[in-house]
Chains A and B, each alone.
Chain A
Amino acid sequence: MLDDSLLQKASESVMDNDVAISSRMRLARNFADLPFPGFMDMEQAQESVRRCVSALSDTLTPYALDKLPPLKRMILVEKHLISRDLLKTPERSAAMISSDEKLSVMINEEDHLRIQSFAPAFELDLAFAKAFEADTRLQEKMNFAYDTDLGFLTACPTNTGTGMRASVMLHLPALTWSGEISKVTQAVSKLGLTIRGLYGEGTEAQGDLYQLSNQVTLGRTEEEILSDVKTAASQMVEWERRIRAALHAGDKINLEDRMLRALGVLERARKITSKEFMQKWSAVRFASCMRVIPHNISVIDDLLVSAQPASLQSQASETLSDEQRDIRRAELVQSRLKV
């Protein structure tokens, strides 16, 4: 069971949420006696799903992706519960998700199992504990591919060893706007870490949101990796705060002008695209953290998922065109931002 103090700390945590939005832990595991998902036939893929469902159905709800409407699938992606890659082969894949949506297991993505746990702000310890609790439970029932020298074996050698990816989603408007972000990128790469866009591999940093995570998975213990990511994330949080304060102190009028213009658009526009929304959202979130505007940061953070395309569509009774969706987005944002 999880340590109560960890859960309590998470529930009370508002510390660091000005920069750290959420924490995530991912573990890659594979069955020892089956080929990796890319090399499985349909029967083997079904066997992999069957094993996972049988082992986890007491605590997680299974989702057969091919039976799930496309809209529901996209909502799972927007909530980061599953990856876009999992949707490439819906007839072979499945997902299992906890009722509080803090734990999910993707089945037959790149590896047979991708155990993911999510925690608010900078609660990486909590995400770590939850992921390994699930892993320990699974290992009592399953035989995972493991080599004494190489650790847990994965389809791609970049994940071999611990199979662990610890990541923190960071909101870095000041570092981005000031151009300092390139220094950050260089600094983290020297530490065996990497920084990527909002939806992971190959995506751009919409809304000045970045995922900091470990790149090295072999030759370091899980605790060492956790510590590496926590240390780097803490330093980036401090770095971002320093630049935020410097920007505000150096050119208050221009900075606040940019923030308040963004708020003006979100509060007044009749329609807004996803891309423009993310740009303005970042400036408004920055403004809230600097107390330039009275809006609560949690209201702004909630918009991050609810204003995404699939979430907007799910709230509508008919199929929305692109323009209709942009209108709905503007309406939603205005209703939520009313102080």
Chain B
Amino acid sequence: MLCEKCGVAPATIHLTTIVGGEKIEQHLCAACCQKQKQALTMAGMSTLLLSLLKGASGVPDETVTLRCHSCGQTFEVFQKTGMLGCPKCYEVFKEHLTPLLSRIHGKTSHTGRVPPDTFEQTTMARRLESLRRNMDRAIAEEDFELAAQLRDEIRAMQPAKEPSSDELDSIDNVAVACPDDVTCGEVSADA
């Protein structure tokens, strides 16, 4: 096999890189591999971002007309420069930024520090999110007693005036389907 970069020397190095969960295989000769490593070593953040933007697939054509009403930045210019114009751009371009953030960071939710004025609200939101995840896991594992407990905790944390969501009500009665699609059990969590 010849080196896929220069196409002259035999490929003696077989590289596997994982970027944002995507596996990329390369077959290179020693000289081209060295060049690539040097380039990678010195690549900066923006270089990384621009390469991700360039290689981004699934970004539909209509994004070129997306414009932030607050600062005037367009998604098209952002794709070339990697720079947003103002904090509002994150809302306007949200749909297209989310997959990009996922590719850069592997995740799309902040778990770090919060400003003092939003501390209580954020702590509550994170606690609710964690309870919901645990409840989903309990349901998946058919531990309905735990799921009901978690549901009650979630309800207790939500404001009284807010009606219970369908999602929460739906676990009062849980149907479990076997892989062959035959219902094999029904459990009432309040029972």
Contacts and interface: CB of A to CB of B under 8 A. Distances in A.
B163 interface: no
Contact of B44 (A36, A145, A196, A205): A196
Question: 10 smallest A-B Cβ distances: which pairs?
Answer: A219-B107, A151-B110, A201-B44, A145-B87, A218-B105, A35-B86, A39-B85, A162-B112, A158-B45, A182-B37
A156 B110 contact: no
B125 A148 contact: yes
Interface stretch (B46-54, B152-160, B172-180): B46-54
Contact of B112 (A36, A189, A200, A220): A220
B55 interface: no
Contact of B71 (A35, A158, A186): A35
25 contacts: A35-B86, A36-B71, A140-B116, A143-B115, A143-B117, A148-B118, A148-B121, A152-B110, A156-B84, A157-B49, A161-B112, A185-B40, A185-B41, A196-B42, A200-B44, A202-B44, A205-B41, A205-B42, A215-B104, A216-B106, A218-B105, A218-B108, A220-B107, A221-B112, A222-B112
A139 B110 CA distance: 18
B122 A155 contact: no
Contact of B41 (A150, A190, A195, A215): A195
A318 B83 CA distance: 42
Interface string B107-133: 111111111111001100100000000
Contacts of B134: none
A30 interface: yes
Q: Which of B41, B71, B111 counts the most chain A CB atoms within 10 A?
A: B41
Interface of B: 17-18, 34, 37, 40-49, 70-73, 82-87, 90, 97, 100-101, 104-118, 121-122, 125
Q: Is the interface of A mostly helix, strand, loop or mixed?
A: loop
A146 B86 contact: no
Interface in A140-169: 140, 143-153, 155-162, 164
A127 B168 CA distance: 45
Contacts of B17: 189
Contacts of A39: 71-73, 85-86
B117 to A, nearest CB: 8
